[in-house]
Amino acid sequence: MMDLNIVDETSRLKAVILGIAQSNGPVPTIEEAYDPKSIEHIKAGTYPKEADMIKEMEAFASVFQKYGVQLYRPEVLQDCNQIFTRDIAFVIEDKLFHANILPDREREFEAIHEVLDMIAPEKIIRPPEEVHIEGGDVMPWKDHIFIGTYTKPDYASYITARTNQAAVEFIRDMFPHKTVKSFELRKSNTDPRENALHLDCCFQPVGTNKAILHKNGFLVEEEYQYLVDYFGPENIFEIDKEEMYQMFSNVFSISPDVVVSEKSFTRLNNWLRDQGFTVEEIPYSEIAKQEGLLRCSTLPLIRA
């Protein structure tokens, strides 16, 4: 059996599920797309090609192998986008939460059965139906759990609103010993530069006490300020709107001192190196066209 363990974003990674780009299916229609960035590329004829995305994911896989991480991949489903495993499930402490996602993505969860079969059934939690939650909005951080949400009355009109108030309460009930802090995110169905699809699109901790942050991703200034005060202004790398659009905050930590990043993120990668991090640079700009990057493609299972 597998003993899950995730209490933060950066402890030494031992086991992870990385998505897969094989048999990704045809270019979606605009009606089928889930986010404004994909729509932008569908319209422009620049939607990523499967062969390019496979190459990018293999570059990511090779970094995990280099660091001795146990790597799992989903079973390949015909014509199905299975890149973003973070959407379908996430781990907090020793429990795996089965995300209540868009119904046609349910097959993606079943495709990770190799891992599910190794986890004690009572450790796999399916939240009640009214709880809408995706892994990109959930960030365990030591004694905190940070959650991105959208709670305005027009929630249902946004395909980009993924985690609701019921989810925040659910996680609070599950982890009474943690401080569960929620953040209202800016949503747009049409403008990817004004849309924080998930919390990890505008915020992510790195190392032991630092964070990447984008102020405009947050609807409530006090909530943004909470993170600035928590990490300290001197420990924050603030990204601008264009950098958020390129997904600068969606890097992935293998340990407190190793960060995997997109090779074109020059300003961020230089800052990380200046702070003493080892930066593993890989190409991931084609996958980024679907409004997801490195963190979105991973489902960490065990961190030491």
Taking the C-alpha atoms of residue 282 and residue 260, their distance in angstroms, rounded to an integer, is: 7
Q: How is residue 21 written in tokens?
A: 């780009």
Secondary structure string (H, E, C) spanning 15-61: EEEECECCCCCCCCCCCCCCCHHHHHHHHHCCCCCHHHHHHHHHHHH
φ, ψ for residue 97, nearest 5 deg: -100, 125
Residue 46 lies in a domain: yes
User: Which pair of tokens denotes residue 115?
Assistant: 């891992």
For residue 5, being part of any structural domain is answered with no
Is residue 260 a part of any domain in this protein? yes
Q: CATH no. for residue 17?
A: 3.75.10.10
- Alpha-carbon distance of 117 to 119, in angstroms, equals 6
One-letter amino acid at 120 equals A
Residue position matching structure tokens 């953040």: 183
Separation of alpha carbons 13 and 67, rounded Å: 9
**Residues present in the chain in total:** 304
Take residue 287 and report the two structure tokens written for it: 């996958």
Is 6 a domain residue? no
Low-confidence ranges of the chain (pLDDT < 50): none
**pLDDT for res 294:** 98
Q: Which amino acid is at 282?
A: I
- At residue 300, the 3 state secondary structure works out as strand
Tokens representing 141 are: 């951080």
Q: Which domain holds residue 281?
A: 13-303
Residue 83: other Cβ atoms inside 10 A: 23
Count structural domains, the chain.
1
Q: How many CA atoms lie within 13 A of 288 on its CB side?
A: 21
Taking residue 221's Cβ as centre, other Cβ atoms within 10 Å add up to 9
Give the pLDDT confidence score for residue 64 in this predicted structure: 98
Domain assignment present for 2: no
Q: Is the residue at 294 inside a domain?
A: yes
Strands 179-184 and 144-149: parallel
pLDDT for res 190: 86
Looking at residue 36, its pLDDT comes to: 85
Number of H helices, E strands in the chain: 8, 15
Tokens at residue 15, please?
């086991």
The Cα 84–Cα 29 span in angstroms is 19
- Is residue 1 situated within a structural domain? no
DSSP state of 265: -
Sole residue written with tokens 């991703």: 217
Residues 273, 141: Cα–Cα separation, whole Å: 22
